[in-house]
Amino acid sequence: MKDKVRSLLKQKKAIMLAHNYQPPEIQDVADLCGDSLELSIKASQTDAEVIVFCGVHFMAETASIMCPEKVVLLPQKNAGCPMADMVTPEALLKKLKEIPPMPVVTYVNSSAAVKALSTICCTSANVLGVVNSLEADEVLMVPDRNLAKYTALHTKKKIHFWEGYCPVHDSLTAQKVLKAKKEHPKAVFMAHPECRPEVLELADFILSTSGMIKHAGESESKEFIIGTEIGILHPMRKAHPDKIFYPVSKDMECKDMKKITLEDVARSLEFMEGEVKVPENIRIKAKEAVSRMINFSLA
């Protein structure tokens, strides 16, 4: 099946992108694995005619926003993001009428329609830089309250936050972290900023998924407790076979990130199924917010 997928990718002049949370067999076949920022940049730069996005719906939408001339395929169209669903354009417009005028910083984990109402997008890797680059004294951040609370600790700006969250990261408690630390006393605890504030207080490092992989390579430590979705363990072990990685909790699994199979990828390419196309009136506005983020990250 791996050979079939690679053959179809070549035949269709396609590139396969996979998020760090995807199943190992998907990551191993992909042309590029990474976090949302890396994949957004790759999608904007590729000369492939077709992008197969192994992730969730908002990621495929982002690729469509940046590459309207390309065909973007999501092999499982029902692979969604509960956090992204927690903010709608209607609800955001209502909120904007209730607060003073201010920039809207929207996490890439959101729909294209919400991005279209935003000033700039951000990822967990660049959120602090993005927020601090804005001139305004007050900022509305959507949809992740935990990411917003984390950001508020590292900026002088007043942060207004949305009551959204990632069910996987939000489920991690301080008690579970303390238990893992007790079981692995020599391990460094790395946590994702989508985790609750009380969990982040226990972290030795707060990093994006790609930031975690990079730090593991640069650190002198040999053992790590990983506070994010368990899919990240595969690329970590692959990149650093001499080090030991423990999941902080085996319950931290995103069902949506595990929906895509190699069979789905092959079918999607063979029959060009699962196309994600953002309407032009939404795409143009959303592209401004995503491009500002990418230009900031590349600067």
Please identify, in words, the CATH class of the domain defined by 172-251: alpha beta
Contact status, residue 296 vs residue 130, Cβ threshold 8 Å: yes
Contact status, residue 65 vs residue 278, Cβ threshold 8 Å: yes
Domain boundaries, the chain: 2-80+257-277, 84-167, 172-251
Fold exhibited by the domain 84-167:
Rossmann fold (3.40.50)
Q: Which of 68, 60, 70 is nearest to 259 (CA)?
A: 60
Which listed CATH number (3.40.50.10800, 3.50.30.30, 3.40.50.880, 2.40.50.140) goes with 2-80+257-277?
3.40.50.10800
The values of phi and psi at residue 9, to 5°, are -60, -45
Answer yes or no: same fold for 84-167 and 172-251.
yes
Distance, CA of 5 to CA of 25 (rounded, Å): 11
Q: Kindly give the confidence (pLDDT) of every residue in the chain, 299 residues in length, as a single tens digit, with 9 standing for 90 and above.
A: 999 999 999 999 999 999 999 999 999 999 999 988 788 788 888 889 999 999 999 999 999 999 999 999 999 999 999 999 999 999 999 999 999 999 999 999 999 999 999 999 999 999 999 999 999 999 999 999 999 999 999 999 999 999 999 999 999 999 999 999 999 999 999 999 999 999 999 999 999 999 999 999 999 999 999 999 999 999 999 999 999 999 999 999 999 999 999 999 999 999 999 999 999 999 999 999 999 998 887 76
Sequence-separated (6 or more) residues with CB below 8 Å from residue 94? none
